[in-house]
Structure 1
Amino acid sequence: MKVVIVGNGPASASAVEAFRQVDKDSDIIVLSDEEYPTYAPNCMENVIRGDISQDALFYKGGYAFYEKYKVDFRPKKEVISIDNKRKVVIVKGGEEIPYDKCLLAAGASSFVPPIPGKELGGVTTAKNLDDAKRIREWILSGKVKRAVIVGAGPIGVEDAETLKHMGIEVHVVEFFDRVLPRMLDKSMADRYMKALQDEGINFYLNHQVVAIHGEDGWVEAVEIKHLGSDESKFIETDMVILSTGVRPRTHIIQDTDIKLHIDENKNRVVGGVLANEYQQTSDPDVYAAGDICSGRDAWGNYRWIALFPTAQQGGAIAGYNMAGLRVENPGLVDYNAVKTRGAVAGSGGTFEDAEEAFTAEYENYLIKVFLKEGKVCGYQFVGIPKGGALNLRNAFLQGNQEFIKRVLKDRGLGLEASGVLFHHFMRFKDRRISPEIVKAIKMGMLRSLANPKYEVPLFYV
C-alpha cells in the first residue's frame, strides 16, 4: 500500500507515528511546500526572540524522524490539487504521485486582506518559520524600531509582547471591540489587555487599516480609521505584521467531489474539508486532519478548529485508520492559551450561544464557565501574575528542576490551568457543574479537578 500525506505539520507527524504502530512496511510519502522537517508551529514568537533550541523547535527529531519511521520525505513539493478519481496528488510543475490512501494535512495559510501597500518591504505575515526568521533578521539589523501588528488574535498579541520585550515600540490594530475576540468575551478580554497596556503596548480597537504607506519600497506608516469614522490616523512604523487570521488550504480539492464544511441554512462554506469521526472525507480513501479540515468537537458540533492539539489528535486518528484500524475520534479538543508573560488567557469550547455563565475570581485568576441546558459548553480563563513564591511541597515541583524553570517563566500558568479545566469537563458526559466543582474553582484548586494529589497550590500567595 502507498500512503501519500500532503503537509508536514503536527497532523502529518502524528499520523506517521500512529500508522507505523500498526503497519511497519507500507510506503509513506510526505510532501511539504517548505524546506524544513516538522517543527512546532506554535513557537514562532520564540524564534523571533531567539530563545528556543533546535531540539525544541524541531520537536520530532528533525530529519531523523523520517528515517526512524521509514518515510520518503519530499520538501519543496507544493501540492496544487488532488484527482481522487484517478487517485493521484498533483505537485506544482505537473508531477503526479499515485496513492492508495491519502491524508490531507496541508494546514492553513495566512489570510492577507487587500490593503493598499501590503506589497511594501517590511510588511509580512507571522505564520511560518520563514516569516519568524525574516522578522528576527529585520530587528537584529537595526532597521526596525517601531512595529504595527494588524490583528489581536493569539499570534498578534504574542508577537506584540515579544517585540516590546525586544525594545520595539508596538501598536496593535484590531477590527473588533476586544483583543482575542475568538477566545474571550469583552469583560475577560479587557482584563487581559490591561496587563499588556501596562507593559507599554498600544491598542487601537474598533479600527481598520485603510492603507500602508512607504517610500523607496519600504513601509513608513499605517493609515487607520475608527469604524464609522471618515477621519484617518497615521501610525509611523518600520514594520507591519499582518496577523489577520488563516484560511484552510481547501483549494487542493476544488476540482473534486470531496465535501467542504457548509452551513446548510446559509448555504456558504464555514470551515475546511469535512471529516467524519474516523477523519475520512466524503471519499473513504482520502482522509483529512489538522487546520485544513472541520470535524466534530468534544461537544458534538462540527467546527473548524485551527489549533496544535486538534491537529495532533486528528492526525493520530487518521494514521490508525489508514493502517486498517477503526478508531473513532472522541471529539476534537480546542483548548487554547496565549503564551504572554505579563498576563495569560485560556479558553475552550464555545461561549457565543451560552445561556448562562458562572464566574469565579481567586487571587490572580478569573475563570468564567459557560453553560447551556445546565451543561458546560465552554470556559475562559485570565491570569494576572502576582509573583508569589513557589510552594515546593507541590507534587509537580518535587525533584523536577526543569518544570520549576518552566513555571518561573510562565508566571501566569494559563496553559496548564486551561488544559486542566478542559480535560476535567471532558471526562464527564453530562458535564454538569456541581457545587463541589464550584467550590474547587473558587478556591483556586484547578489542579485538584484533574488529580487530587495536586491540590497543594503551586504558589504561596
Structure 2
Amino acid sequence: MRVVIVGNGPAAASAVEAFRSIDKDSEIIMLSDEEYPTYAPNCMENVIRGDISPEALFYKGGYAFYERYNVDFRPKKEVVGIDNKRKVVIVKGGEEVRYDKCLLAAGAYSFVPPIPGATLEGVTTAKNLDDAKRIRDWVVSGRVKRVAIVGAGPIGVEDAETLRHMGMEVHVIEFFDRVLPRMLDKFMADRYMRVLEEEGVKFYLNHQVIAIHGEDNWVEAVEVKHIDSDKSKFIQVDMVILSTGVRPRTHLVQDTDIKLHIDESRGRLIGGVLVNEYQQTSDPDVYAAGDICSGRDAWGNCRWIALFPAAQQGGAIAGYNMAGLRVENPGLVDYNAVKTRWVTAGSGGTFEDAEDAFTAEYENYLIKVFLKEDVVCGYQFVGIPKKFEPNTKNVFLKKEEALEFLKRVIKDRGLGLEASGVLFHHFMRFKERKLSREVIKAMKMGMLRALANPKYEIPIFHA
C-alpha cells in the first residue's frame, strides 16, 4: 500500500507515528511546500526572540524522524490539488503522485486582506518559520524600531509582547472591541490587555487599517481609523505584521466531490474539509487532519479548530485508521493558551451562546466557566503575573546589569497551556460536566493541578 501525506506539520508527524506503530512496511510519501523538517508551529515567537534550540524547534528530531519511520520526505513540493477519482496528488509543475490512501494535512495559510500597500517591503505575515526568521532578521539588523501588528489574535499578541520585550515600539490594531476575540469575552480580554498596556504595548481597538504607506518601497506608516469615524490617522512604523487570521487550504479539493464545512442555511464556507469520527473525508480513501479540516469537537459541535493539540490528535486518529484499525476520535480538543511572558490567557469550548457563567478569582488567577442548560460548555482564564524582587544577597546579582535583567524577566506568568489542558480534560470526563462543590473550591484556591490528580482524572482516550 502507498500512503501519500500532504503536509509536514504536527498532524502529519503524528499520523506517521501512529501508522508505523501498526504498519511497518507500507510506503509513505510526505510532500511539503517548505524546506524544513517538522517543526513546532506554536514557537514562532521564540524564533523571533532567538531563545529556542534546534532540538526544541524541530521537536520530532529533524531529518532523522523520516529515517526512523521510513518516510520518503519530499520538501519543496507544493501540492496544488488532488484528483480523487484517479487517486493522484498533483504537485505544482504537473507532477502526479499516485496513492492508495491519502492524508490531507496541509494546514492553513495566512489571510492577507486587500489593504493598499500590503506588498511593500517590511510588511509580512507571521505564520511559518520563514516568516519568523524574516522578522528576526529585520529586527536584529537595526532597521526596525517601530512595529504595527494588524490583528490581536494569539499570534498578534504573542508577537506584540515578544517585540516589545526586544525593545521595539509596538502598536496593535484590532477591528473588534477586545483582544483575543475568539478566546476571551470582553471582561477577561480587558484584564489580559491591561498588563500588556502597562508594559508599553499600544492597542487600537475597534480600528481598521485603511492603507500602508511607504517610501523607496519600504513601509513607513500605517493609516488607521476608528470603525465609527471617517477621520484617519497615521502611525509611523518600520515594519507591519499582518496577523489577520488563517484560512484552511480547501483549494486542494476544489475540483473534487469531497465535501467541505458549509453553512447550509447561508450557503457559505465556514470551515475546512469535512471529516467524520475516523478522520475520513466524504471519500473513504482520503483522510484529513489538522488546520485543513473541520470535525466534531469534544463538546459535540462541528467546528474548524486550527490548534496544535487538535492537529496532533486528529493526525494520530487518521494514522491508525489508514493502517487498518477502526479508531474513533472522541472529539477534537480545542484548549489553547497564549504564551506571553507578562500575562497568560487560555480557553476551551465555546462561550458565545452560553446562558450563564461562574467566575473564580484567587490571588492572580481569574477563571470563568460558561454554562448552557446548567452544564459546562466552555471556560476562559487569565493569569495576572506576580512580581518578585530578586534576592540581592546572591553573588551573581552583585552586577548591576544582572539585577536589572532579572527585574524585567523574573515574573510568575500565572496559568499556561498545561493548566488549560487540565481544565479541558477535567470537564471532558463528565458526560454532564456539572460543577461540583469540590471543583469550585479547587478553582477558588488556585489548585488547578489537583483536578488532574488520578483520583479525579479519567483519560479522554480509552485504552
Number of the residue aligned with 1:51: 51
> 2: CA distance between counterparts of 1:33 and 1:241?
22
- Structure 1 residues 350-389: Cα deviation after superposition (integer angstroms, max 9, x where no partner): 0001110001111001100000111110000001111469
1:452/1:84 Cα in 2 relative to 1: closer, same or farther (>3 Å)?
A: closer
What residue identity is the alignment partner of 2:446?
A: G
Number of the residue aligned with 1:400: none
- Secondary structure at the residue paired with 2:319? helix
- Shift in Å, 1:408: 6.8
Aligned residues: 438
2:39 counterpart of 1:39: yes
> 2: CA distance between counterparts of 1:56 and 1:244?
27
Number of the residue aligned with 1:157: 157
- Shift in Å, 1:265: 2.0
> 1: CA distance between counterparts of 2:421 and 2:319?
24
What residue identity is the alignment partner of 1:82?
A: I
Which segments of 5 or more consecutive residues in structure 2 lack a partner in the other structure?
A: 391-408, 457-463
| 2:431 equivalent among 417, 421, 429 | 429
- Shift in Å, 1:274: 0.1
Moved over 3 A (4+): 387-390, 407-410
- Secondary structure at the residue paired with 1:262? strand
User: TM (normalized to structure 2)?
Assistant: 0.93
Number of the residue aligned with 2:461: none
> 2: CA distance between counterparts of 1:62 and 1:162?
26
What residue identity is the alignment partner of 1:104?
A: L
* Aligned 8 A contact 2:262 2:270 in 1: yes
1:260-299 equivalence runs, <5 A: 260-299=260-299
Which segments of 5 or more consecutive residues in structure 1 lack a partner in the other structure?
A: 391-406, 455-461
- Secondary structure at the residue paired with 1:124? strand
- Shift in Å, 1:440: 1.4
- Secondary structure at the residue paired with 1:191? helix
Number of the residue aligned with 1:24: 24
* Aligned 8 A contact 1:387 1:411 in 2: no
* Aligned 8 A contact 1:295 1:303 in 2: yes
User: TM (normalized to structure 1)?
Assistant: 0.93
2:300 counterpart of 1:300: yes
Output the aligned Cα RMSD: 1.5
* Aligned 8 A contact 1:356 1:372 in 2: yes
1:63-212 equivalence runs, <5 A: 63-212=63-212
- Structure 1 residues 165-223: Cα deviation after superposition (integer angstroms, max 9, x where no partner): 11100000000000000000000000000000000000000000000000100000000
- Secondary structure at the residue paired with 1:24? coil
1:432-451 equivalence runs, <5 A: 432-451=434-453
1:232-247 equivalence runs, <5 A: 232-247=232-247
2:258 counterpart of 1:258: yes
- Shift in Å, 1:453: 8.6
Number of the residue aligned with 2:360: 360
1:335-346 equivalence runs, <5 A: 335-346=335-346
What residue identity is the alignment partner of 1:343?
A: V
> 2: CA distance between counterparts of 1:234 and 1:411?
34
- Shift in Å, 1:229: 0.7
What residue identity is the alignment partner of 1:43?
A: C
- Shift in Å, 1:263: 1.3
Number of the residue aligned with 1:420: 422
* Aligned 8 A contact 1:381 1:414 in 2: no
- Shift in Å, 1:413: 2.9
What residue identity is the alignment partner of 2:118?
A: K
- Secondary structure at the residue paired with 1:208? strand
* Aligned 8 A contact 2:387 2:411 in 1: no
> 1: CA distance between counterparts of 2:389 and 2:379?
27
* Aligned 8 A contact 2:210 2:224 in 1: yes
1:88/1:410 Cα in 2 relative to 1: closer, same or farther (>3 Å)?
A: farther
